[in-house]
Chain A
Amino acid sequence: SQQGEEDPQALSIQEGENATMNCSYKTSINNLQWYRQNSGRGLVHLILIRSNEREKHSGRLRVTLDTSKKSSSLLITASRAADTASYFCATDEGGTYKYIFGTGTRLKVLA
């Protein structure tokens, strides 16, 4: 299995700005998920989007999915210093229960 790619690898923004991260993957999927990880701790689930959905919102988070391009984006609006973390996308490989993680985006929000 091959890892998905995320870009940018690192992103530094000012508090209040929006942050956009992109994820590309290689196989067909049932769903795609976004996770946050603070300082190498456990993963926190943010949002799940299914293959038949194109956009999903949760609070300040907006996720889009384009299955034709095998890509997804995560938008965090009105960012806060507490959003500083690494963000990973994960796809269920070929519709199995095995998740393939992207390379991650390190987001730094400056107060």
Chain B
Amino acid sequence: SAVISQKPSRDICQRGTSLTIQCQVDSQVTMMFWYRQQPGQSLTLIATANQGSEATYESGFVIDKFPISRPNLTFSTLTVSNMSPEDSSIYLCSVEVVSTEAFFGQGTRLTVV
């Protein structure tokens, strides 16, 4: 299993600013994933973060808007840049332990005003 800690748990930000979300795992994992959940919607994968390489972004998401760092096997950050109210969502990080379930953090609830 894996225990994931996400910070901050929630934040209210001004439009035009940026927020960096941290994800810490209690064990070394190869892949970490970042998801977005817009209000009332399901989860959408933003990108896959591998240690030692650039993140791989899904269609509709770009590095300039959502830069990701993965400095080691237990930590990753997602930055939401130049925020607008449309970025108000829950952002979740996830890891998968091989051949078992994916583990999720509790999420970061972001409100952009």
Cα-based distance from A45 to B104 in the complex (angstroms) = 8
Q: Which of B58, B59, B101, B106: most chain A CB closer than 10 A? A: B101
Taking a contact as CB atoms under 8 Å apart, the answer to whether B106 and A98 are in contact is no
* Interface membership of chain A positions 84-111, coded 1 if the CB is closer than 8 angstroms to chain B and 0 otherwise: 0000101000000111111110000000
Contact of B109 among A40, A45, A48, A102 (CB under 8 A): A40
Q: How many residues of A contact B (CB 8 A)?
A: 20
Taking a contact as CB atoms under 8 Å apart, the answer to whether A42 and B102 are in contact is no
Taking a contact as CB atoms under 8 Å apart, the answer to whether A40 and B42 are in contact is no
Chain B interface extent, by class: 20 to 34
Cα-based distance from A35 to B92 in the complex (angstroms) = 14
A interface list, Cβ under 8 A from B: 1, 3, 33, 35, 40-43, 45, 48, 88, 90, 97-104
Contacts A/B (CB < 8 Å), 25 sampled? A1-B45, A1-B59, A33-B101, A35-B104, A40-B37, A40-B39, A40-B107, A41-B106, A42-B104, A42-B105, A42-B106, A42-B107, A43-B107, A45-B101, A45-B103, A45-B104, A48-B101, A88-B42, A97-B31, A97-B33, A98-B48, A100-B45, A101-B35, A101-B44, A104-B42
